[in-house]
Structure 1
Amino acid sequence: MDSFFRTLDVMAEFPNTLGVLAAYELVNDEESEACIPVIAAVVRDLKRHAKLKSEATGQRTLPIGYGAATTHPRDKMILDYLSSQDEADRIDFWTCKNYSWASPADMESSGYNEWIERYESTTIPFFFSEYGNNTNSPRLFDETVALYSPEMTRVFSGGCVYELWHGANRYGLVGMLPAREEGITPGKVRQRDRNDAYVAETRQTDQGTLRIFQDFMNYKASLEATKDIQPNNDRAMTGREGLVKGTTQDVGQVPESCVDWLKIEEDLGCS
């Protein structure tokens, strides 16, 4: 756990770090469900270390979350389990990937309505760690308006578009064409990217040409369209005690900590 603690301490130094994931996409089938109690143990130990470090040095305490691969029903079970531990040990937020909205779409065809119903009892912040289906180019990002609608914000807390910089998977909102590739290099041909046809704006930099794709402009417009939407803060809250009884017995008990807490407290000057 030492490397986990060091990473947590480093990330706490950056004021723009909003939270840290204890694990990401670890549970994807029945076999990997065996690691769920271990994830809970990691969350518990990270939060204990953060508390001790804060008391000893005043270090900022970061929220600890889990990143799921999907909005599969299995993930709802994991969410219930990790968010229903003792108050000092439970996750602070939950996140997952979602690329189901392929424009044109709506709440029903995308499955958003189904996920609202499935997760309406969620008791912690929940957001999409990645979204932005690129089946069509340019992307319209009309799901952004849906994501911040009163219907969705009753359960979800927004999301993060994938991704800023353009790469091999062609999801970028902007891309850099290095100066060395701008001219025709003898014997070298740059492979054409489908987003080349959707460059809305270019800016010259000392690194090359910054290309701003139409995806970026559409995303910016979608965000602008949400600025006057009032979120629905009437989040349904269920008793965590019921979640503990309903999920802990099914998944398994959280293992004991393997950390030498006496030594850590001594090193921090807590004892």
Structure 2
Amino acid sequence: MKGSVIRSVSVLFAAASLFGAVQATLDPIVIKGSKFFYKTNGTQFFIKGVAYQQGVGAAGESSGSSSSVKYSDPLASEADCKRDVPLLKSLGANLIRTYAIDPTADHSACIKLLDDAGIYVISDLGQPNLSINRENPEWNLDLYTRYTDVVDALAKYPNVIGFFAGNEVTSNSSYTPASAFVKAAIRDTKAYIKKAGHTAAVGYAADDDASARANVAAYFNCGDAADNIDFWGYNIYSWCDPSNYVDSGYQNHTETFSTYNVPVFFAEYGCNEGSASGSAPRVFNEVAALYGSDMSKVFSGGIVYEYFQEVNDYGLVTLTGNNVSKLKDYDNFSTKIHAVSPSSVNAASY
């Protein structure tokens, strides 16, 4: 009997050790009011993110059900993640945004590498060939299946904060009817997540079109909370150096969202007005403003565009074969993001 007890304890200990070895080290991020917090200690969380996916243009260009664009899942290759995650960590990133993942792929290795590096994930739910098309919007069974498959693939990981149900679908006022389909997607995806027992949040990433931005922001944050966004992402490229807090429009945006009741952050930022043949490196002076005393009261950080160098010349690194080289943008952004110290509140007193 004693030997059986010992063997049982040994088996339990081994199982517990194995379980502990694969468990996440990062504290889940939760939402309270208009801010993100670490679940355990209530410290406020600010996104210091990077867009991380090859072959997807700024604002997730190529989206729409009529597109034939192929994509490569950035979280499916352990070798690629082993190559890139140390650089993301050194950069100062605590989050990546992915635009399209393959829900049938195994993401556990990459997610674990990101977790070990202190990096969270927000992923878009669509993919270039299957997302809500602003020209001919639908919310149908194929889209629902795609969205919920992505949820099933990623929501189980504690360092996955949430998902974007749409990205710049209503890119100007002529496409406002499409927002109703995105909101239906948000409603149904949130219901699915809740039923499955997950805690991941669902949001929307909007562009900076003056004719639509205010109404779209209000629409996704009105009515029944079960139908509304959990967070609001803002793709914004208005600070083009030399600029400042006022001239860039940042002051106006801060005032606009000062009473918004869910977290707001930049889902993409980092203006580059140069040509594809080679623009001057970005200096990222907007970083100090975004995490400074005025904006950090309203905005929860942002996601710089982008990690990989593409023809649009926004990259932080170049990839040749499997070799990565840092660009000047990498060093410039890293210097600026490491220097920030945003004012914060604790969840218990908020």
TM-score after normalising by structure 1: 0.68
Structure 1, residues 111-136: CA drift from partner, whole Å, max 9, x if none? Answer: 11111122222111111111111236
Shift of 1:138: 1.5
Please give the alpha-carbon distance, in whole angstroms, between the structure 2 residues aligned to 1:85 and 1:40.
11
Shift of 1:73: 5.4
- Structure 1 or 2, whichever has the larger Rg, is 1
Q: Contact 1:71–1:96 at 8 Å: present in 2 too?
A: no
Shift of 1:50: 1.1
Q: Contact 2:230–2:263 at 8 Å: present in 1 too?
A: yes
Q: Contact 2:316–2:330 at 8 Å: present in 1 too?
A: yes
Please give the alpha-carbon distance, in whole angstroms, between the structure 2 residues aligned to 1:226 and 1:216.
16
Structure 1, residues 188-213: CA drift from partner, whole Å, max 9, x if none? Answer: xxxxxxxxxxxxxxxxxxx33x2111
Please give the alpha-carbon distance, in whole angstroms, between the structure 1 residues aligned to 2:344 and 2:237.
22
2:327 paired residue number? 213
1:53 paired residue number? 196
Give the counterpart of 1:173 among 316, 319, 330. Answer: 316
Structure 1, residues 125-183: CA drift from partner, whole Å, max 9, x if none? Answer: 111111111236221111101100110112211111100111111111111233xxxxx
> Is 1:161 matched up with 2:278?
no
1:81 paired residue number? 219
Counting aligned pairs with the same residue, the percent is 32
Please give the alpha-carbon distance, in whole angstroms, between the structure 2 residues aligned to 1:131 and 1:232.
25
1:92 paired residue number? 230
Q: Contact 1:165–1:172 at 8 Å: present in 2 too?
A: yes
* Cα distance, 1:101–1:231 mapped onto 2, change above 3 Å: farther
Shift of 1:52: 1.1
SS of equivalent residue, structure 1 residue 21? strand
Matched residue type, 1:214: K
> Is 1:126 matched up with 2:264?
yes
Matched residue type, 1:98: I
1:240 paired residue number? none
Please give the alpha-carbon distance, in whole angstroms, between the structure 2 residues aligned to 1:9 and 1:83.
25
Please give the alpha-carbon distance, in whole angstroms, between the structure 2 residues aligned to 1:15 and 1:219.
27
2:343 paired residue number? 230
Matched residue type, 1:163: E
- How do residues 1-271 of structure 1 correspond to structure 2 at under 5 angstroms? 1-54=144-197, 60-70=198-208, 72=210, 74-135=212-273, 137-178=280-321, 207-208=322-323, 210-227=324-341, 229-231=342-344
Please give the alpha-carbon distance, in whole angstroms, between the structure 1 residues aligned to 2:181 and 2:227.
12
SS of equivalent residue, structure 1 residue 110? coil
Shift of 1:41: 1.6
Please give the alpha-carbon distance, in whole angstroms, between the structure 1 residues aligned to 2:292 and 2:311.
32
* Cα distance, 1:8–1:85 mapped onto 2, change above 3 Å: farther
Q: Contact 1:148–1:231 at 8 Å: present in 2 too?
A: no
Q: Following TM superposition, where does structure 1 have runs of at least 4 consecutive aligned residues deviating by more than 4 angstroms?
A: none
Q: Contact 2:296–2:343 at 8 Å: present in 1 too?
A: no
User: Any stretches of 5+ residues in structure 1 without a counterpart?
Assistant: 55-59, 179-206, 234-271
Deviates more, 1:140-149 or 1:79-88: 79-88
Shift of 1:36: 2.1
User: Any stretches of 5+ residues in structure 2 without a counterpart?
Assistant: 1-143, 274-278
Shift of 1:232: 7.4
Q: Contact 1:150–1:232 at 8 Å: present in 2 too?
A: no
CA RMSD of aligned residues (A): 2.0
Structure 1, residues 20-61: CA drift from partner, whole Å, max 9, x if none? Answer: 11111111233321122222221111111111111xxxxx32
* Cα distance, 1:71–1:146 mapped onto 2, change above 3 Å: farther
Please give the alpha-carbon distance, in whole angstroms, between the structure 2 residues aligned to 1:31 and 1:101.
26
Shift of 1:3: 2.2
> Number of aligned pairs?
199
